[in-house]
Amino acid sequence: MPVSLDRLLVVGISSRALFDLEAEEAIFRTQGLEAYRQHQIDNENEILKPGAGFALVRALLKLNELTPDQRLVEVVIMSRNSTETSLRIFNSIDHYGLDITRAVLSGGASLAPYLRAFNVSLFLSLHEDDVQAAIDSSTAAALLYQKPANAFEELDQIRIAFDGDAVIFSDESERIYQTQGIEAFENHERENALKPLPEGPFARLLKALSYIQNNFKHVSSAPIRTALVTARSSPAHERVIRTLRVWDVTIDETFFMGGVSKSDVLAAFKPHMFFDDQPGHCERASTYVQTGRVPSRIELKDVKKA
């Protein structure tokens, strides 16, 4: 009987996001595919250093150790490498003791068609084209920034922080703010306070994390802690609170920043990963915590307008 990944939190991560392959990426870009191929074969027993997504992946995989009778998380390496150049990646996985057994090696082809095949809940990469394609296919995805100096600090909990609009929630309200201004945005949110916000690209991931948290209700200190760090403030807070109630999702910490920089709050919360859609927010946060930028979904109508 085939193994099902339907009830698992499945994280797809590119090899370059899991390990530091920046030198190899430079070889590929400046010297070409053949030079890259030979370099990887010549160095296949040389262990790669951890990359931008390593800390989050390692922390999530530890959840399986807490529930020996029930696997909660699966990680799939999703790489444009060929089979021939992948041995170094697998050797590095073994070296760090990462419980990763599944891989997609597309040989240069797009990874997006395989996201649904592996029921991927979250895709992490340093290649913008792959991240955009994942978002466009309705999979939560983020473009990772290079790791800050403290990225691999060991924490007792898995900590994940999210922006609100265009990340957990849809960009419907965000577009009003961008096109009509703050007053129109606040009026819209006040008038629709009782109407739940539509789901954004990371709503499914948040719900999956909430489901996992329910497995540890009997534990005094849950292994996962989530935070919402949003630029919203009163009166736009009410709709957020009511939406989370409707979803039956509890976020452990919520910060309505009202336009104040998020960086200091994030530095205090110390997440393994912070997801935001605004490049400016991401660039500032990325010097303090590991950060992933969530691109906007490219709709057909947007392409026609362009």
φ, ψ dihedrals at 176, nearest 5°: -65, -45
Instruction: Name the strands in the sheet holding 140-144, side by side, starting at the edge strand that comes first in the sequence.
Output: 102-105, 73-79, 9-13, 122-125, 140-144, 291-293, 273-276, 158-162, 224-230, 253-256
Residue that has been written with the tokens 């336009």 in this structure: 259
Give the contacts of 279 (CB within 8 A, at least 6 positions apart). Answer: 293
- 163 as an active site residue: the answer is yes
Tokens of 30: 């400046």
Of 227, 231, 259, which is closest to residue 244 (Cα–Cα)? Answer: 227
Of 78, 101, 99, 71, which is closest to residue 6 (Cα–Cα)? Answer: 71
Give the contacts of 291 (CB within 8 A, at least 6 positions apart). Answer: 144, 145, 273, 274, 275, 276, 282, 285
**Which of these is catalytic: 6, 42, 69, 163?**
163
- Integer Cα distance of 219 and 267 in angstroms: 26
Give catalytic residue positions.
163
